[in-house]
Amino acid sequence: MAVLLAQRLLQSIAVLFGVAIVTFLLLHYLPADPAALVAGRSATAQMIANVRHQLGLDLPLPLQFWNYISGLVHANLGRSYVQRSEVATLVAARLPATLVLMACGILVEVALGLTLGVIAALRRNGFIDRMVMTLAFIGVSSPQFVVALLLLYVFAAQLSWFPMSGYGTPAHVVLPALTLGLLGAGWYARMVRSAMIDVLNQDYIRTARAKGLSGSRVVLRHALPNALLPIVAMIGIDIGQFMGGVVVVEAVYGWPGIGQLAWQAIQQTDVPIIMGVTMVSSLAIVLGNLLADLVAPLLDPKIRIR
């Protein structure tokens, strides 16, 4: 177990290092000159050269990269070109909002997915079962921004149940979390459904029933825990999906998270912030996968033995 853990950790660090290299090279070779943008539209060639020197962009590429990586090791993500502040500080200030949003999104997804999935498995081919199937397909086929605008239109503009945009109170998080969570809930439900059907057909469930246990006790205590394993893996993978989705959701709802920070930085070619947010997102994805790998053996002794 310890060996496996160490192995996976090393792998994760290697992957993050690779992400850093690829992002760095991509941003370096893209045909956008941050120095010219920072210097402003009326800047002379001399002024642009000065800015380039200040930002350290005139150094040889390997040296620039070395500086960046050695900074990364000390959790130093560099300085923003436009905001004249440490990227790490900017990201840290925005991260809590994004984490709240993602946590609520996952909560919506898992709560809905579990409930619908269990009901669908118990009442196969019933109304809920058909609905789960439909919901799953509509969920993966829906453009997130349209769902966001639709929820805003119905629940904020027409019914005035929730605020249009902003951040701070629990009411603000409802619509963004629903936007993130609703679309994935269908697939969760499908996975729970098929896992539950597999489990419910097994002998120990028949034994539990034969002992005279009540239906709900069999389902909740005996069947459900064994059907949860794929869900844990899904949550880990989902963190990655959400990291892309937050850019859109935060843009529509004016949610002050790292998605919005990235979006502003992209429009200003603020390379250090783009790098920083990409690295933090990749870290989240890697941690999510790691979590899925580590929690699975805790829940399932069969995996632990192997």
Partner 1 sequence: MKRIASELVRRPSTCLALLVIGIVALAAVLAPWLAPFSPDAQPFDGLSTEGAPLPPGSEYWLGTDTLGRDLLSRLLYGARTSLVIGVVANGVAVLIGMIVGVVAGYLGGVIGNVVMRFTDLMMAFPALLLAIVLAALLRPSLWIVALVIALVNWVQVARIVFTETRALAERDFILAERSLGAGNVRILVRHIAPHLLPTAIVWGTLGIATTVLIEATLSFLGVGVQPPQPSWGNIIYESQSYFQSAPWLVFIPGAVILATALSFNLVGDALRDLLDPTQRGRG
Which residue in 5, 93, 146, 171 binds partner 1 (CB under 8 A)?
146
CA angle 266, 270, 273 (to 5 degrees): 90
- Nearest CA to 257 out of 235, 272, 242, 241 is that of 242
The C-alpha atoms of residue 186 and residue 193 are separated, in whole angstroms, by 10
Q: Does 201 bind partner 1 (CB under 8 A)?
A: no
Nearer to partner 1, 196 or 247 (CB): 247
The C-alpha atoms of residue 25 and residue 230 are separated, in whole angstroms, by 36
Q: Does 121 bind partner 1 (CB under 8 A)?
A: no
Which residue in 40, 56, 143, 166 binds partner 1 (CB under 8 A)?
143
Which residue in 8, 16, 72, 230 binds partner 1 (CB under 8 A)?
16
- Nearest CA to 36 out of 51, 26, 24 is that of 51
Nearer to partner 1, 93 or 140 (CB): 140
Nearer to partner 1, 39 or 279 (CB): 279
Which residue in 26, 69, 93, 107 binds partner 1 (CB under 8 A)?
26
Residue 305 Cα distances to 1, 77, 229, 297, 298, angstroms = 9, 41, 16, 9, 11
CB of 109 to partner 1, least distance (A): 17
The C-alpha atoms of residue 214 and residue 206 are separated, in whole angstroms, by 12
CB of 157 to partner 1, least distance (A): 5
Instruction: Give the footprint of partner 1 on residues 220-259 (CB under 8 A).
Output: 240, 243-245, 247-248, 251
Nearest-10 Cα torsion for 255, 261, 267, 270 = 170
CB of 4 to partner 1, least distance (A): 17
CB of 299 to partner 1, least distance (A): 23
Please, are residues 288 and 240 in contact by the beta-carbon 8 Å criterion?
yes
The C-alpha atoms of residue 255 and residue 94 are separated, in whole angstroms, by 10
Site residues, partner 1 (CB under 8 A) = 11, 14-16, 18-19, 22, 26-27, 30-32, 137-138, 140-146, 149-150, 152-153, 157, 240, 243-245, 247-248, 251, 262-263, 266-267, 269, 274, 277-278, 281-282, 285-286, 289
